[in-house]
């Protein structure tokens, strides 16, 4: 039987020299599918081997055991386990696909941080050979400018509420939210982003078809519908502690910044934050009650200058480097009177909220000369800040103003309708 991996049967391909036929998209995809099954992430030696020889040749050499010792160490236990066709077919039945570095939607820019950190000698940060993706969105677009929100599984009510509020605020501002779909802070973050109508991405430490955690199966379905569920582990891979620690590097790498909402002194969330810092990402932490064991990790990160203290979604958006520079001006809520000159602002302040006032009365109350008041009032009317009524001039009612910037988010912080 002819296979995309070989000339006659799967596993019979010769190393040879790479050529367009050998490196066809189908063969490359099958090769990476095979390698994802036989090499437990993070497979540093295998990733380097693929970079040197190409996926097709590397897969052939691994299958025959004709590879360097380090590569054999990472693949020997499973190298004869060739389930590429089954894995791709199983993913398709699940409504999932394999995204590989050769695909247009591969998130090359955020994942570059893993490669750079590896060159600096940071351990455990090899790039993934591919990512299994469930959901209709493009992977690169779904994680563009994303913020990772992580924290304790045994979260407090304060922590879950804070995570949901932060994620909701990010979502309505168009910022994707990344997390790990675990109980506690992760689940709250995903639910908050979904409630905000935004994009959220869950990164798993097991196969997409495993249904873990069991209590979040419905949540994962909703995430896949509105965002993406991703994993570097092939279908059927069971959850394991080491796999969750390994997947944390992806949560750290794919986000433009990371927010730790609650974390114990030693926890997976702190591990993820440390990895994000090593990757050059912006690390943020939310303070909690001074006596809470679930906030000890956050407080230590802040005290040791490992994280920036954030207490609101605005803090997060402004702190996350490029994300803050590019998005804060666009999405920060503002008062409708922003941009008014001193005289116009004083005239507006003097307007009544219900009954109209004469121009003379406004001049007396504001201290602005009458002629200037008469010039300012029509301009305020054009801007939707004042209206003429039978008894004179009054402010436009709040529900008739445009009290926000261009994203459709009302300014709930300042009561701008009364500005």
Q: State whether 168 and 267 are in the same domain.
A: yes
Q: Could you tell me if residue 15 is inside a domain?
A: yes
Do 65 and 172 lie in one domain? The reply is: no
For residue 380, the domain's CATH number is: 1.10.10.10
Under DSSP, is residue 399 helix (H, G, I), strand (E, B) or coil? helix
Q: Which domain holds residue 62?
A: 1-82
CATH number of the CATH domain containing 327: 3.40.50.450
Residue 392 resides in a domain: yes
% of the chain beyond a pLDDT of 90: 67
- The answer on pLDDT for 401 being more than 60 is no
Please check whether residue 213 is in contact with residue 187, taking contact to mean a CB–CB distance below 8 angstroms: no
Q: Which of 53-57, 351-355, 366-370 tops mean pLDDT?
A: 53-57
The answer to whether position 321 is within a domain reads yes
Is 99 among the domain residues? Answer: no
Question: Which of these three, 45, 66, 82, is where a domain ends?
Answer: 82
The span from the CA of 209 to the CA of 237, in Å, is 8
- Whether residues 158 and 305 share a domain: the answer is yes
- Check pLDDT > 70 for residue 359: yes
Q: What SS3 class is residue 288? A: coil
Whether residues 278 and 144 fall in one domain? yes
Nearest one of 134, 300, 128 to 229, comparing CA atoms: 134
- Is residue 373 one of the residues assigned to a domain? yes
Q: Are 174 and 327 in contact (CB under 8 A)?
A: yes
The answer on 157 and 283 residing in a single domain is: yes
**76 and 184 belong to one structural domain:** no
74 and 152 share one domain: no
Examine the domain organization and report whether 298 and 161 are in the same domain.
yes
> How many folded domains does the chain comprise?
3
Helix, strand, coil percentages, rounded to 5, for the chain:
45, 10, 40
What is the C-alpha R_g of the chain?
28
In a domain, 182, yes or no: yes
C-alpha span between 162 and 284 (Å, rounded): 14
Exposed/middle/buried for residue 349 (C-beta within 10 Å: 0-12, 13-18, 19+): middle
The alpha carbon torsion through 395, 397, 400, 405 (nearest 10 deg) reads 70
pLDDT tens-digit readout, 58-101: 999 999 999 999 999 999 999 999 999 999 999 999 999 999 99
Q: What is the mean pLDDT of the chain?
A: 85
Q: How far apart are CA 334 and CA 406, in angstroms?
A: 10
Which helix (H) or strand (E) segment holds residue 201: the answer is: strand 200-203
**In this structure, is residue 96 part of a structural domain?**
no
Do residues 107 and 143 touch, judged by C-beta distance below 8 A?
A: yes
pLDDT of residue 335: 67
- 308 and 387: one domain? no
Write the DSSP string, 293-313.
Answer: GGGHHHHHHHHTTSSEE--SH
Same domain, 302 and 356: no
CA distance 321 to 335: 25
The larger pLDDT score, comparing residue 406 to residue 182, is at 182
Residues with Cβ within 8 Å of residue 130, at least 6 apart in sequence:
32, 33, 36, 98, 99, 100, 101, 232
Task: Examine residue 65 and state whether it is found in any structural domain, yes or no.
Answer: yes
**Residue whose C-alpha is closest to residue 248's, from 148, 138, 153, 134:** 148
Q: Are residues 271 and 186 in the same domain?
A: yes
Do 364 and 309 reside in the same domain of the chain?
no
* pTM above threshold 0.85: no
Average pLDDT over residues 231-258: 94
Q: Could you count the other beta carbons within 10 Å of the beta carbon of residue 188?
A: 27
pLDDT, position 347: 92
Residue 405 pLDDT > 50: no
């Amino acid at each position: 039987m002819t296979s995309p991996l070989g000339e006659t049967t799967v596993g019979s391909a010769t190393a040879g020299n790479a050529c367009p036929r050998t490196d066809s998209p189908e063969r490359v995809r099958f090769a990476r599918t095979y390698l994802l099954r036989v090499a437990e992430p993070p497979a540093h030696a295998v990733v380097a081997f693929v970079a040197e020889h190409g996926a097709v040749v590397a897969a052939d050499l691994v299958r025959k055991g004709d590879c360097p010792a380090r590569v054999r160490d990472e693949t020997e236990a499973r190298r004869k386990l060739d389930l590429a066709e089954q894995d791709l077919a199983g993913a398709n039945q699940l409504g999932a696909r394999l995204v590989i570095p050769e695909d247009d939607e591969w998130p090359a820019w955020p994942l570059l941080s893993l490669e750079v950190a590896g060159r600096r000698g940071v351990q455990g940060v090899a790039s993934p050979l591919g990512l299994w993706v469930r959901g209709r969105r493009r992977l690169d677009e779904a994680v563009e400018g994303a913020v990772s929100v992580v924290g304790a599984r045994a979260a407090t009510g304060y922590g879950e509420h804070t995570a949901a509020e932060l994620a909701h605020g990010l979502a309505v501002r168009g910022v994707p939210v990344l997390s790990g779909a675990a109980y506690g802070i992760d689940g709250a973050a995903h639910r908050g982003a979904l409630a905000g109508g935004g994009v959220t991405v869950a990164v798993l430490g097991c196969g997409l078809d495993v249904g873990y955690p069991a209590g979040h199966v419905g949540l994962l379905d909703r995430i896949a519908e509105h965002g993406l569920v991703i994993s570097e582990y092939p279908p059927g891979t069971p959850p394991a502690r080491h796999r969750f620690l390994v997947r944390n590097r992806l949560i750290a790498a794919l986000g433009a910044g990371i927010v730790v909402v609650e974390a114990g002194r030693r926890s997976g969330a702190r591990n993820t934050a440390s990895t994000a810092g090593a990757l050059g990402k912006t690390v943020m932490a939310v303070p909690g009650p001074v006596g809470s064991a679930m906030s000890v990790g956050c407080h230590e990160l802040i005290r040791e200058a490992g994280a920036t203290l954030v207490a609101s979604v605005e803090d997060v958006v402004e702190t996350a480097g490029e994300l803050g520079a590019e998005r804060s001006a666009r999405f920060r809520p503002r008062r409708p009177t922003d941009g008014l000159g001193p005289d116009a602002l004083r005239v507006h302040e003097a307007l009544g909220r219900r009954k109209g006032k004469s121009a003379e009365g406004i001049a007396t109350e504001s201290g602005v000369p009458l002629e200037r008041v008469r010039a300012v009032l029509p301009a305020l009317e054009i801007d939707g800040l004042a209206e003429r009524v039978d008894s004179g001039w009054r402010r436009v009612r709040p529900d008739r103003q445009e009290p926000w910037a261009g994203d459709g988010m009302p300014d709930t912080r300042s009561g701008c309708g009364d500005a």
